[in-house]
Amino acid sequence: MQKKHRKKCYIWLITIITMFFTLYLGAGYYFYQVAFVPGHKSFLKKHKALSKSDPLYKEKLWYLNSKKQQYSIKSADNKLRLVANYLPASSKSFKTVVILHGYMGNKDKMGQYAALFHQLGYNVLLPDARSHGASQGHFIGYGWPERNDVKKWSQYIIKKQGSNSKIVIFGLSMGAATAMMTSGEKLPTQVKAIIEDCGYTSIEDELNYEANKLYKLPSMVEVPIVKLLSLSVKIKYGYFLSEGNCIKQLEKNHRPFLFIHGEKDKFVPMYMVYKNYRACRGPKELWVTKNAAHAESFPKHPKIYKNKIAQFLNKYV
């Protein structure tokens, strides 16, 4: 009887373990598709058609009507073709800004920022990140592999414009995280300053936060799933998600840095900007914008936004 009872217990135990393992594998696959594979994302706001009621209507219209040059390079790992739009300054300038878009965005959704920097006398380069827009790829790296692409774009600018180049890196949301991750790399001396708007602290932090927010998963479920995702990324793409850490990269940065974040951001919570700001080792400034949700600091405060950036760049570029 005891042997039969033990056998039944073993069977139940194996069944339960198998069920949990299958559940986690299934959940891991689902979240991998949602988080890392390009495509429609139901949790993102739909892109609205341009209307005159838009506070940045003039800037967006200027970009749409502007003549753009197209540049392309190979990704840092030489596997993908990356594409960017380039808009030269109104008069000859050695100052160039690299504008990095957010998750499931593209270069053309950053037209208002292109207009802002163009008004400040900058050449503007707007890359499509790998797996976005016209660039190749089937995997979204949340800024970690993309940081090396940004470095390569900087080198491309210097090659085109010469050693007198003065480069600024600007990023929004995932692009902001990419900018912060880039800051910890050995960059050309021509990169003079970096600006981030509403970037997260790390890939794992953001995925854990979104898993809890969107699906109300408890930490005992959410954390193992993110770790499983991390293992999948390591096997397939060569890095753990924990390596994509803005804080650790900012600790290696000594360039001037401007941090911007909306106080009502529910997509990348505001506490993350304070952690990023404290980690930065270079000259730094922080502006938390009132009544602004995620990526809304510019449309909510267009004049102040432009002035803040202009004042910051006038100090360092």
**Contact yes or no for 312/285 (Cβ under 8 A):** yes
Which residue pairs from 204-210 have beta carbons closer than 8 angstroms and sit at least 24 positions apart in sequence? 204/230, 204/241, 204/242, 204/244, 204/245, 205/272, 206/142, 206/177, 206/268, 207/31, 207/35, 207/241, 209/268, 209/269, 210/35, 210/43, 210/267
User: What confidence score (pLDDT) does residue 285 get?
Assistant: 98
β-strand partners of 195? 170, 258
pLDDT one-digit tens code per residue, 224-242: 778 888 888 998 899 999 9
Scanning 82-202, the segments in alpha helix (DSSP H) are 111-119, 144-161, 174-183
Closest CA to 181 of 270, 241, 267, 107: 241
Pick the CATH number of 52-202+244-316 from 3.40.50.720, 3.20.20.410, 3.40.50.300, 3.40.50.1820: 3.40.50.1820
Q: Over the stretch 146-183, which tens digit does the pLDDT of each residue have?
A: 999 999 999 999 999 999 999 999 999 999 999 999 99
**Residue 109 DSSP label:** G
pTM of the model: 0.91
pLDDT class of 14 with cuts at 50, 70, 90: low
So what's the pLDDT on residue 204?
94
Give the per-residue pLDDT at 28.
60
At residue 19, does pLDDT exceed 60?
A: no
Sorted by where each begins, the domain ranges of the chain are 52-202+244-316
Q: Which residues pair with 74 in a beta bridge?
A: 81
pLDDT the model gives residue 23: 47
